[in-house]
A and B are shown apart, each in its own frame.
Chain A
């Protein structure tokens, strides 16, 4: 896979391609407007498979986590998911983190805050205005699994929705 392809298709980890740190928040304060070679797939909410945070994992244990079969089967397919936008760094971006619950902390802004393990990284089809962190949103896009390190920020993600659009939940 190429380092700038957040689909994560291909071998397990691109982290080794970079000497960057995992989840380095400070680095994230720079250059979130990464130009990404996004896939051309069109996401239509109507034919999207609805997924939930609850169904992500087959096993979620102290020795590591494993994605569920259902999630594995949906790779490269259009999915829709509801969650909360983590506190964004910039008013407009193509990249944000989605969490199950609204975050009390801002891992991007605070040196020792940490992300929950069950996060979804969303790469938008186009840069869009970010919204307040406490607001529930619906995201539609293409599901990607596997370790991927964002080329600009060094942020490592395991589960992504790419080529995505979002709107406030109704």
Chain B
């Protein structure tokens, strides 16, 4: 995701700042953590100023931590050579529910946090859970998709989206431990672990470790359901499989860009179905086109572990149709799988290089076919990931088409679930974008520039997209009266209120000043183009996320958990509650 680069450098800056100003001890998990009884996490306390062990003490519920945690944590003076000392115990489990009070003392300074350790008290109501993530999915994406896909006249829509037509709904707030605005790594981590973390982090708390892989870990739902319930796990996306949202099901790293490590984490956890783009990080470095730094051949390793490999839509469907397939690895592109608008209508992006990429809906069908063979049930995470990427690139039509694609995938899942009513389906964005529908851009209005073409209030009328096809897509996005889908945050760029028919928008490019971005001149000479001065810091190369809440809809057993406003970590709690994840580990076979 484009913005992560910008967010990452900001995060680094903030990290230095906090390192300089933090005075008190930090206890991980942080204050107010909700911990599923029986789940694994790393316990850590950091003492600033690198004190000796003798001047520190830690208690949990007033007792020696070793008594509560089962073994003695290790004290590391000057961890990683830095100006703090650490007390660490990895892979801790708490089995007794209740409030835990943790105190860390250094001299006369005391820091106290409390954790809420909870167990699922009710019986299992869902055999399966399907979690749909519309990356960056915001209210305007839904509305625009509904206008295009269901039509609207005289104020009435021609139908309901599958993602809207669900009995339960909640507003989800997405803030992290570091900021009111988050990224897809931290956002997914909250859904997948039930713990909030910081920008760029997956399955870890953001501590002060130098090594990105050594920050205090929290067990992910992928690991948990494999370990405790022997359920099948599926992770499917149309982004690179190593990208933040899919990685969230398996990964533990402070830095989401650790793609090569993330491939190893997928291999370690072994979700039964893995599908997306991003093949170069699976290839040994001697292969032309590899992005690995070692000679490990993960395509080979996965196949040796019983995975059927698919590189095209046809391969994938053949694999799903084969009753022997119980594990499936699909890698359909070297980068992201092309979005619905490029695959279906415009044939831009990498469609010429990869002419047989699957649609997300077909990926869901294939995944459900393979995963539902497990009598213990399955957990499937499905991401429509380019809603976010196209919103970063200020490319409205591509983002809206991929929202329609998400809707089709959800419709299929709802039909599957309706057969037995044993599947909890959740559809949610992971964070918002500052997007809004201002009216319509109407070519019949006088003038050439976007503000002349923009119809607001009554002048917006209704867009004139052609009737949608069977899958809810109009035949063209380049109609004379189009949704004016606007972005509230942008870098310097040129804009003419037309769809980007020649390929995804690239609003800004690196400028002459290091780290600063300027308008991509390619668009400045187009008819009607105006030059917009960015309202973002000059380091931003694209649109950014916003701190708005996102909408969650849910259907199926356990969906009644959702109501009103909820923190994003409650999504994890809803899923483990519906599945009644037990405190005790299952007996070894």
Contacts and interface: CB of A to CB of B under 8 A. Distances in A.
Interface of A: 12-13, 15, 21-23, 60-67, 87, 101-106, 109-114, 116-117, 132-134, 147, 158
B511 A158 contact: no
B391 interface: no
Given A62-B331, A116-B335, 8 more contacts: A22-B292, A61-B354, A63-B311, A102-B522, A103-B510, A104-B507, A111-B257, A113-B5
A110 B334 contact: no
Contacts of A103: 509-510
Interface in B527-545: 541-542
B541 A104 contact: yes
B520 to A, nearest CB: 6
Contacts of A13: 286
B121 interface: no
Nearest to A130: B512
B287 interface: yes
B2 interface: yes
Given A102-B522, A111-B8, A64 B289 contact: yes
A63 B279 contact: yes
Nearest to B510: A87
A62 B515 contact: no
A136 to B, nearest CB: 9
Contacts of B5: 105, 110-113
Given A64-B288, A105-B5, A133 B511 contact: yes
Interface in B300-327: 311
Contacts of B286: 12-13, 15, 147
B30 to A, nearest CB: 25
Given A60-B353, A61-B311, A105 B541 contact: yes
A10 B25 CA distance: 57
A132 B279 CA distance: 32
Interface of B: 2, 4-5, 8-9, 255-257, 279-280, 283, 285-293, 299, 311, 331-335, 353-354, 393, 506-512, 514-515, 517-518, 520-522, 541-542
Contacts of B285: 15, 22
B279 A66 contact: no
B506 A101 contact: yes
A62 B287 CA distance: 11
B289 A104 contact: no
Contact of B291 (A12, A23, A132): A23
B522 A134 contact: yes
B283 A105 contact: no
B256 A132 contact: no
Given A104-B542, A111-B9, A113-B5, A22 B293 contact: yes
B388 to A, nearest CB: 15
Nearest to A66: B288
User: Which interface residue of A12, A21, A147 has the most chain B CB atoms within 10 A?
Assistant: A147
B311 A104 contact: no
B521 A134 contact: yes
30 contacts: A15-B285, A22-B285, A22-B292, A22-B293, A60-B353, A62-B279, A62-B333, A62-B334, A65-B288, A102-B506, A102-B520, A102-B522, A103-B510, A104-B506, A104-B508, A105-B510, A106-B510, A109-B515, A112-B5, A112-B256, A112-B257, A113-B5, A117-B289, A117-B334, A117-B335, A133-B509, A133-B511, A134-B509, A134-B521, A134-B522
Nearest to A114: B291
A116 B5 CA distance: 16
